[in-house]
Chains A and B, each alone.
Chain A
Amino acid sequence: MSVINRITLCALIASCGTDHRLPNDLNDPGAFGVTGLRRLTRFELVSSVGDVFGVDAAPLQAMLPEDLAGGNPFDNNYRAQTVSPLVVTDYATFAQAYAAQLAATADLPQRLGGCTPAAADDRACFDALASKIGRRMFRRPLAASELAAYAEVILPQAKAAGSFATAVEMLGLLFVQHPAFLYRLEQDGALDDFQIATRMSFLLWGSVPDDALLDVAEAGTLDDAQVRATQAKRMLDDPRAQRNLHRFHALWLGFSDAPLPSALATDLVDETNHLIDRIVFEQDAEWLALFHWNETYLTPALATQYGLPPVTSPGWVASRGGGVLTHGSFLSLGAKFGDTSPTVRGAEIFKRITCWRLGTIPPSVDTDMPPGAPTDCKPQRYVMREIDGCKQCHGIIDNIGFGLENFGVFGQWRTTEPDHPQCVIDGAGSLNGLAFSGAEELGALLADDPSVSACATTQLFRWMTGRDEDYEDQHTLDALDQQYRANRSLRGLLVDLVTSPAIAYRKGE
Chain B
Amino acid sequence: MPKKPLSRRTFLRGAGGALVGLPLLEAMLPKLLFAHATIAKRFVVSFCGTVVGNDTLSSPGVYGALPTTMPPSWKGLEPVRAHVSLISNMNIPVYSATIPATEPASAYNMQHGTTPATTLAGVTSIETMPIMVKAQTADQYAVAALGAGSKLASLQLRTQVLPYTGSNNNHNGVMSAKMVNGQLLQLPPIVSPAQLFTTLFGVATTPGGAPALARQASVLDLIATDAQRLTSNLGASDKVRVEQHLEEIRSLERNLQAAISGGGVSGCGPATAPVDPTIGANAFSGWSNETLRGQMMADMIAYALACDLTRVASWMMTFEQVQMANVVDGLTQMHDDSHNAQLRPTNIAANCNWHATLFARLVGKLASMPEGTGTVLDNTFLSLIFAEAKTAHGRSGMRHLVAGVPSRIKNGLHIDGAGTHPGRIQIAGLQALGVNTNTLGELTGPAPITV
- Same complex origin of A and B: yes
Chain A residues proximal to chain B, CB less than 8 Å: 36-37, 62-63, 65-66, 68-69, 80, 82-90, 92-93, 95-97, 100, 143, 146, 149-150, 153-154, 156-157, 159-162, 166, 169-170, 173-174, 177-180, 182-183, 185-188, 254-255, 257-262, 332-338, 344, 347-348, 360-361, 363, 366-369, 409-410, 508-509
Is there contact, CB below 8 Å, between B17 and A93?
no
- State which of A37, A157, A177, A344 has its C-beta within 8 Å of the C-beta of B238: A37
Task: Give 1 or 0 for each of B197-232: 1 = CB within 8 Å of chain A CB.
Answer: 011001000110001101110111111011001100
| Those 9 A-B pairs whose CB atoms lie nearest each other, nearest first | A259-B281, A508-B235, A156-B17, A88-B248, A258-B166, A335-B283, A82-B185, A160-B18, A37-B238
Report if A348-B167 is in contact (Cβ < 8 Å); known contacts: A83-B241, A93-B202.
yes
Quick one: which of A259, A337, A363 contacts B282, CB cutoff 8 A?
Answer: A259
Q: Out of B167, B221, B282, name the residue touching A334 (CB < 8 Å).
A: B167
Chain A residues in 8 Å Cβ range of B17: 156-157, 159-160
A93–B195 contact, CB under 8 A?
A: yes
A299 to chain B, nearest CB (A): 20
Q: Which residues of A lie under 8 Å from residue B172 when comparing CB positions?
A: 68-69
Residues of A within 8 A of B20 (CB): 160-162
Q: How far, in angstroms, from A462 to B20 measured CA to CA in the complex?
A: 50
Take A254-B166, A361-B128 as given contacts and tell me if A90 and B186 are in contact as well, using a CB distance cutoff of 8 Å. Answer: no
Query: For the complex, what is the distance from the CA of A262 to the CA of B238, rounded to whole Å?
Result: 42
B192 CB within 8 Å of chain A = yes
Which of A68, A179, A261 is in CB contact (< 8 Å) with B246? Answer: A179
Q: How far is it, in angstroms, between the C-alpha of A184 and the C-alpha of B450 when the chains are bound?
A: 50
Name B's A-contacting residues (CB within 8 A): 15-20, 96-98, 109-111, 128-129, 152-156, 162, 164-167, 169, 172, 174, 178, 185-192, 195, 198-199, 202, 206-207, 211-212, 214-216, 218-223, 225-226, 229-230, 233-235, 237-238, 241-242, 244-246, 248-249, 251-252, 276, 280-284, 286, 321, 335-336, 339, 392-393
Q: Which residues of A contact B19 (CB under 8 A)?
A: 157, 160-161
Q: Assess the B199–A93 pair: CB atoms within 8 A.
A: yes
Check A174/B219 contact, CB under 8 A, given A65-B188, A87-B248.
Answer: yes
Provide the bound-state CA to CA distance between A87 and B220, in Å: 15
Report the separation of the CA atoms of residues A415 and B216 in the bound assembly, to the nearest whole angstrom.
61
* A residues in contact with B187, CB < 8 Å: 82, 84, 86
Q: Which residue of the partner chain, among B162, B189, B244, contacts A83 with CB atoms under 8 Å?
A: B244
Residues of B within 8 Å of A409, CB to CB, are: 283
Q: Is the CB of B248 within 8 A of A83?
A: yes
Inter-chain contacts of A68 with B (CB < 8 A) = 172, 174, 186, 188
Cβ-defined contact, A86 with B190, below 8 A? yes
Contact of B222 among A93, A149, A255, A509 (CB under 8 A): A149
Q: Is the CB of A170 within 8 A of B215?
A: yes
Chain A neighbourhood of B220, CB < 8 A: 92, 177
Q: Quick check: B252 and A259 within 8 Å, CB to CB?
A: no
Min CB distance B111 to A, Å, is: 7
Query: B339 near A368 (CB under 8 angstroms)?
Result: yes
Q: List the B residue with the shortest CB-CB distance to A360.
A: B128
Residue of B nearest to A70 (CB): B172
Instruction: Please report the C-alpha to C-alpha distance between residue A79 and residue B198 in the assembled complex, in whole angstroms.
Output: 28
Alpha-carbon distance A334/B283, docked complex (angstroms): 9
Contacts of A159 in B (CB 8 A): 17
Q: Is the CB of A338 within 8 A of B284?
A: yes
**Pairs across A and B, CB under 8 Å, 30 listed:** A36-B238, A37-B238, A68-B172, A83-B248, A84-B248, A85-B152, A85-B153, A86-B152, A86-B155, A86-B199, A88-B245, A90-B195, A92-B252, A93-B195, A154-B218, A157-B218, A160-B17, A173-B219, A179-B246, A188-B235, A258-B166, A259-B162, A259-B165, A259-B282, A261-B282, A334-B167, A335-B165, A336-B167, A361-B128, A508-B237
Q: In the bound complex, do residue B226 and residue A178 qualify as a contact, i.e. CB atoms below 8 Å apart? A: yes
Verify B166–A257 contact, CB threshold 8 A.
yes
- Set of chain B residues within 8 Å of A100, measured between Cβ atoms: 206-207
Q: In the assembly, what is the distance between CA of A86 and CA of B155, in Å?
A: 7
B388 → chain A, closest Cβ, in Å? 11
A247 CB to nearest chain B CB (Å): 17
Q: Closest CB of chain A to B13's CB: distance in Å?
A: 10
Contact B215 A335 (CB under 8 A): no
In Å, the complex CA distance between A100 and B202 comes to 13
Question: Which residue of the partner chain A has the closest CB to B20?
Answer: A161
Q: Which residues of A contact B166 (CB under 8 A)?
A: 254-255, 257-259, 332-333, 335
A368 to B334 alpha-carbon distance, docked (Å): 12
Please tell me if the beta carbons of B286 and A96 are within 8 angstroms of each other in the complex.
no
Q: Shortest Cβ distance from B128 into chain A, in angstroms?
A: 7
The reply to whether A62 and B339 contact each other, CB–CB distance below 8 Å, is no
User: Chain A residue with minimal CB distance to B241?
Assistant: A37
CA distance A162 to B208 in the complex (A): 14
Distance from B335 Cβ to chain A, minimum over Cβ atoms (Å)? 7
A68-B186, A89-B199 known; A37+B237 contact, CB < 8 A: yes
Taken together as a complex, chains A and B put the C-alpha atoms of A179 and B185 apart, in Å, by 19
Return the chain B residue nearest A63 by Cβ: B195
| Bound CA span A334–B153, Å | 41
Interchain CA distance A157-B216 in the complex, whole Å? 11
Known: A333-B166, A508-B235. A161 touches B242 (CB 8 A): no
Task: Please judge, given known A-B contacts A180-B230, A368-B339, whether A509 and B223 are in contact too, CB under 8 Å.
Answer: no
A9 CB, min distance to chain B CBs, angstroms: 13
| Alpha-carbon distance A69/B128, docked complex (angstroms) | 17
Cα–Cα, bound, A216→B276 (Å): 45
Which residue of chain A has its CB nearest to the CB of B188?
A: A66
Bound-complex Cα distance A333 to B164 (A): 11
Return chain A residues, CB-CB under 8 Å to B154: 85
Q: Which residue of A lies closest to B235 (CB)?
A: A508
* A66 CB contacts on chain B under 8 angstroms: 188-189, 191
Q: In the complex, what distance in Å separates the CA atom of A240 from the CA atom of B317?
A: 38
Query: Within 8 Å CB of B169, what residues of A?
Result: 69
In angstroms, how far is the closest chain A Cβ from the Cβ of B107?
A: 11
Q: Which residues of B have CB within 8 Å of A85?
A: 152-154, 248, 251-252
Residues of A contacting B109 in the complex (Cβ-Cβ under 8 angstroms): 363
A344→B167 contact, CB < 8 A: yes
Bound together, the chains give a CA A187 to CA B239 distance in angstroms of: 10
Task: Determine whether the beta carbon of B96 is less than 8 Å from that of A363.
Answer: yes
Complex contact A508–B238 (CB within 8 A): yes
CB of B322, distance to nearest CB on chain A (Å): 11
Contact call B98/A86, Cβ cutoff below 8 A: no
- Give 17 new A-B contacts, CB below 8 A, not counting A36-B237, A260-B281, A344-B167: A84-B185, A90-B195, A92-B216, A95-B216, A153-B221, A161-B19, A177-B223, A178-B226, A179-B230, A185-B233, A187-B234, A254-B167, A334-B167, A335-B166, A361-B129, A363-B128, A409-B283
Residue of A nearest to B202 (CB): A93
What residues of B have a CB within 8 angstroms of the CB of A361 in the complex?
111, 128-129
Q: Which residue of B lies closest to A36 (CB)?
A: B237
The docked-state distance in angstroms from the alpha carbon of A344 to that of B221 is 51
Q: Kindly list chain B residues whose C-beta atoms are within 8 Å of the C-beta of A254.
A: 166-167
Query: CB-CB < 8 A to A86: which residues of B?
Result: 152, 155-156, 187-190, 199
CB neighbours of A62 from chain B (8 A): 192, 195, 276
Question: CA separation between A369 and B186, bound complex, in Å?
Answer: 31
**Bound complex: CA of A149 vs CA of B235, how far in Å?**
26
Using A334-B167, A361-B128, A368-B392 as known contacts, say yes or no to A161 and B198 having CB atoms under 8 A apart: no
Give Cα A90 to B197, complex, Å: 11
Contact at B242–A90, with CB atoms within 8 Å? no
CB distance from B66 to the nearest CB of A (A): 32
Compute how far the CA of A174 lies from the CA of B221 in the bound complex, rounded to whole angstroms. 10
Distance (whole angstroms) from the CB of A255 to the closest CB of chain B: 7
Q: Which of B111, B174, B226 contacts A367 (CB 8 A)?
A: B111
Q: How distant is the Cα of A73 from the Cα of B111 in the complex, in angstroms?
A: 23
Out of A87, A186, A187, name the residue touching B188 (CB < 8 Å).
A87
Beyond A174-B219, A333-B167, A509-B235, whether A262 also contacts B280 by CB under 8 A is: yes
- Cα(A366)–Cα(B166), bound, Å: 20
Pairwise interchain contact A157-B167, C-beta atoms closer than 8 A: no
Residues of B within 8 A of A509 (CB): 235, 237-238
| Most B CB within 10 A of own CB, among A96, A162, A185, A260 | A96
